[in-house]
Chain A
Amino acid sequence: MKLLVTAFWGLLSLLAPYGLAQTSAWHFPPTVQAGTAFSVLTSGSGPATLYVVGLGDALQRSVQLGQSIAFGSEDLRNAGHYVALLIAGTETQSAQFDVVASTQPAGLSFIAKPSRLPVNQVNGLSGVVYVLDAFRNLLVEPQRVTFELSDPSGATQSRVATTRNGVAWVKMNSATKAGASQFRASSGDTRVQRAVLNVPGEPCTVKMNSHGAGKRIVLETDPLRDCNGNAVPDGTIVTFTEVYGGQQTTVDVPLKRGVARTELLARSRAVISVASGVVVGNEIRVSGGQ
């Protein structure tokens, strides 16, 4: 269908300079709002065929000259430039008109990025809204869009932006508390919501404790938290390193239930350290094999 419409447009572009489009005796409105009903009065008499072609629509209809041609609210939905041809025998009348988006927002395309970010990031979250009418045409007239970000603690940030060429955007700060934030955009009666996950940052400190279990030493970290007090999520890798007599042993352990736990051989005069990512924790010195 698209190919057919494109070919038709191409044909019209070629023929228009050679006089196919005659001076019209009918009165087509130069601009029509998408989804509105309207009619066009024709002159003459006898049967004719009407063609209306736009970038997203094409219709053919048999009409009687001298009567008005009625277009329903569902006939022309896509905004853009249209050409109408009325052909009766060898006679052709033509007209060109624009279908424009309606003025009432009926839909928003809302892009919130990123959908997952560390807590406490200034301007770390962006929201972009495209304002659309009921037929998904972009409203290019300026529209007020309200952005609201509710963080897990219940606090809300709010910003208002006006669309330019149909687009409005803002930058927001991520929450200080880990969890899901609700990011809403609204314009007129239309509202769209996205979920944004605030995740804990780097561990603020890593502290491990030890106790002996025979020849082995059991190492376990305190529950890891970031500098805002959020628990570091399970699965985060904690590296234990034991250095002794020119050798070393390392274990990468994922956090489970908030702590990392492992067992190493208790070697005399060994030094055991712990780290997670770029954060280095405390050291334990083993004396006399325990």
Chain B
Amino acid sequence: MKTRGGGILALILAIATLGLITIGTIWPNQSASANPDSRATLVSGDSSAQDAVNGLLQKIGRHDWSAAYSGLANKADFSEVEFASDLTGNYGSLRTYALLDGFDVHPLRASADEAQFRANMRWASVVGTFEDSRDLKVVRKGDHWQVAWPLMKEARVPPQVIPVNYLRWDVINRGPQDDWGTQDVEAPHVRIVAMHPVDRGGGVVILGELLNEDVVPAFVTVKAALLGANGSTLATEDSFDKISHLLLPKQVSPFRIDFRNVRLSQVDSVHIQPSASLVSASADPVIGIESQKLNPVPDSSLTGELLNQSGQVVNVAHVIGTFYDGNGQIVWVADTYPSRALLPQTPVPFSIALPADVSSKVASYHVMTTTYRSGHAQ
């Protein structure tokens, strides 16, 4: 009796499994696929211009460069390597390690044999999301559509020799065998030269500037504690990446510390603690920040170009802007990371977004950069 019951159960399970396999094959689940566009459907062909664009972007999202390249209308104009480099960048930049987090496609115009779309790709990187917008031309070839990719070739630096007087600080600390009274190297002296708390977005934001007043480089951090009327600590935070952690002698860095869910009216005092330690560092590369310009609303931002004046490739640059009102008081600190590497003597654009209400108050600003190279930070 038991054997017969078990057989029936096995038969039911087998039928159910076969049924589910059939359903899954005929009506595949869209959400289970690796599809960065939440609004796109799985594309099995290129029977329409929209399908061709979606299909291409999905292949890019999967880093399937070969399949993406082979379907391009203008692949004769560039190689597959150049196509992949356009999207992932060279020289270990932010793009190299970014993943396509999503995309939106908007039709711009269409005719029977040609269409144009704007593709906004959102790339997720270790420092947040950056956008890459491309206008894609799609052409009909027979009964299917192909995308002509607007390749943005990265600048090539011509072979040359760039003389650099290299300047570097190395540190030798005291050893364990030294007497306890023996001096260690002195930590750098840093000073907070400005501080301004503001109530913003349902929280408190501490804005300020830190000066390295020493003759040696300093690795700096700033911590802040908000204290209530009875002296109790309401919240403690640090500046995280809204600061340049490495300060050369006499260099000033802005900092911004965000406290969420605390109102300025609750705060009686602010306790700020800067800390600095001595680190080995290099004075190079020098980065010029050119063509800085404030742009009004609706696209309120500070734009400009970074020019690497040295002969070294900078993999990642961090740009921090300090914005002041007419009285010289800091009204905002914001930052951005250009997604491409900084090649020697090659300008790279950047844009720091500004809140619209802040933009109208800004009378002057100061921009600084911190650069990272493989195995180095500056």
Contacts and interface: CB of A to CB of B under 8 A. Distances in A.
Chain A, interface SS category: strand
B288 A236 contact: no
Contacts of A277: 211, 213, 250, 252
Contact of B286 (A115, A247, A252): A252
Interface string B219-263: 000000000000000000000000000001111100000000000
A263 B345 CA distance: 12
Nearest to A196: B183
A130 B186 CA distance: 21
A247 B248 contact: no
A254 B248 contact: yes
Given A236-B215, A257-B165, A277-B213, A115 B290 contact: no
A121 to B, nearest CB: 11
B288 A246 contact: no
Contacts of B368: 250, 252
Contacts of A262: 286, 288, 309
Contacts of A276: 250
A249 B215 contact: no
B18 interface: no
B288 A235 contact: no
Contact of A264 (B217, B287, B288): B288
A233 interface: yes
B20 to A, nearest CB: 63
Interface in B265-311: 283-284, 286-294, 304, 309
Given A252-B251, A262-B288, A277-B213, A130 B181 contact: yes
A109 interface: yes
A82 interface: no
A58 interface: no
Interface residues of A, number: 40
Interface in A116-149: 116, 130
Contacts of A66: none
Contact of B289 (A202, A238, A251): A251
Nearest to B217: A235
A115 B185 contact: yes
A174 B150 CA distance: 64
A247 B293 contact: yes
Given A113-B186, A200-B215, 19 more contacts: A109-B180, A109-B181, A111-B181, A113-B183, A116-B185, A116-B215, A116-B216, A194-B183, A202-B213, A235-B248, A235-B283, A236-B215, A246-B294, A249-B289, A250-B367, A252-B287, A253-B286, A262-B288, A278-B193
Interface of B: 165, 167, 169, 179-181, 183-186, 193, 211, 213-217, 248-252, 283-284, 286-294, 304, 309, 366-368
Interface of A: 108-116, 130, 192, 194-195, 199-200, 202, 233-238, 246-254, 256-257, 262-265, 276-278
Which 6 A/B pairs are nearest by Cβ-Cβ distance?
A277-B250, A254-B283, A109-B181, A116-B186, A237-B251, A251-B288
